Amino acid sequence: MSLPDPKFWSGKRVLLTGHTGFKGSWLTLWLHHLGATVAGLSLPPITDPSLFESARVAEVCCLSRMGDIRDRAATAAVIRDFRPEIVLHLAAQPLVRASYREPVETFATNIQGTIHVLDALRGLAEVQVAVMITTDKVYRNREWERPYREEDTLGGADPYSASKAACELVIDAYRDSFLRAQGVRLASARAGNVIGGGDWSEDRLIPDAVRAWQQGQVLEIRRPGAVRPWQHVLDPLAGYLLLAESLWHRKAAEEAYNFGPLQDDAASVRTVIEIARNGVGGAAVHYHEAVQGPHEAGLLLLESAKARSRLGYRSRWGLAEGVRRTLDWYQAQAVGDDARRLCEQDIREYTALP
């Protein structure tokens, strides 16, 4: 597998939206490790604790601005003041179940917020590349046993998935109408179901497990049979960075790219939890057989052949390794280890693999 090139990233001016989130915090630390000059625009962390605060992510940013991408003027001001060469857009309302509770906010953040970011790039001479992060849930899910490919039909039964599918249309429109003629290389990246230390979001499998088990409680699992393309957070982040590099060198097409594990690492919720509980003594789980709550897809697989062939992308940590490292992170942090050090250690070990 190819890895992000420190020689490429050293000194690059990179704007990262959503830098206070779980993936955004990891990506900010990795960009700093690569030598990039990073500016961040995001809402304040929505969880307590948060990886952004515990790993002191703001310290590695030359600019860390708290702002809402639904605010067009504020978004444009940050982007135009920093004048980035590369934009990585992660800011979003990222949770399916939250989107049922707050559909208007979800559509506004994910669609209108993306429009504000893209529109702020118009006429900005310095920007060369923009990678817009959507999700593996942009596909109209028919519960197929084959993995979804980039050319499959977009759609979404829930507000989160529908909003992200709409983002793909927005990205295409801005590329074709404005940014390609300006010389900006624009692509979207589709990934999801990531695991890794420092995620404290609600309604996510490993964070829910860690919270329950650290408090000596029984973990309640509502959909044990749901199958997802699980991967350690560093895997899709590597894909985003490789895509940005390739776009810069004009080697990659300005298209959508899936970033997921090999199909053998797609697994049910039950499988992931059983791997996790093997490393946690006395962990208790209650699996519910009846479906509870609003609709969520039962089967979702992702085909990443295009990213593998064009970018040299490949998942480096398989499912068992990713789960083990995630649980190790939480256990070390719980007994006082420093969150920044734990993230940097994982980044070093990930990039040191043969």
Residue 251: pLDDT band (50, 70, 90) is very high
Alpha-carbon gap, residue 51 to 288, rounded angstroms:
30
Please report, as a single letter, which amino acid is at residue 134: T
> Considering the entire predicted model, what is its pTM?
0.96
| pLDDT value at 301 more than 80 | yes
Q: Which two tokens mark 112?
A: 């209108």
Pairing state between β 227-228 and 267-268: antiparallel
Please report, as a single letter, which amino acid is at residue 144: W
Which percentage of the chain shows pLDDT scores above 90? Answer: 85
Alpha-carbon gap, residue 74 to 68, rounded angstroms:
8
Using CA atoms, how far residue 40 sits from 60, 91, 107, 125, 136, in Å, is: 10, 10, 22, 20, 24
| pLDDT value at 175 more than 80 | yes
pLDDT for the residue numbered 291: 61
Pairing state between β 227-228 and 231-232: unpaired
pLDDT for the residue numbered 124: 97
**Chain-wide mean pLDDT for the chain?**
94
| Structural domain contains residue 335 | yes
Owner of token pair 């697994």: 267
| Structural domain contains residue 304 | yes
* Average pLDDT value for residue range 195-214: 94
pLDDT for the residue numbered 19: 98
| Structural domain contains residue 239 | yes
Alpha-carbon gap, residue 252 to 309, rounded angstroms:
11
pLDDT for the residue numbered 266: 83
| Structural domain contains residue 216 | yes
pLDDT for the residue numbered 202: 86
DSSP codes of every residue in 85-121: SEEEE--S---HHHHHH-HHHHHIIIIIHHHHHHHHT
| Structural domain contains residue 319 | yes
Owner of token pair 């309302």: 93
Indicate left, alpha or beta for 187 from its phi (over 0: left) and psi (-120 to 50: alpha): beta
Read off the pLDDT of residues 269-300 as tens digits, 9 standing for 90 and up.
Answer: 999 999 999 878 778 999 987 666 665 666 88
| Structural domain contains residue 62 | yes
Q: Which residues share a beta bridge with 150?
A: none
Domain that holds residue 167: 6-352
How many domains does the chain divide into? 1
Read off the pLDDT of residues 63-113 as tens digits, 9 standing for 90 and up.
Answer: 999 999 999 999 999 999 999 999 999 999 998 989 999 999 999 999 999
| Structural domain contains residue 1 | no
Task: Classify 143 as helix, strand or coil.
Answer: coil
Q: What is the CATH number of the domain that holds 155?
A: 3.40.50.720
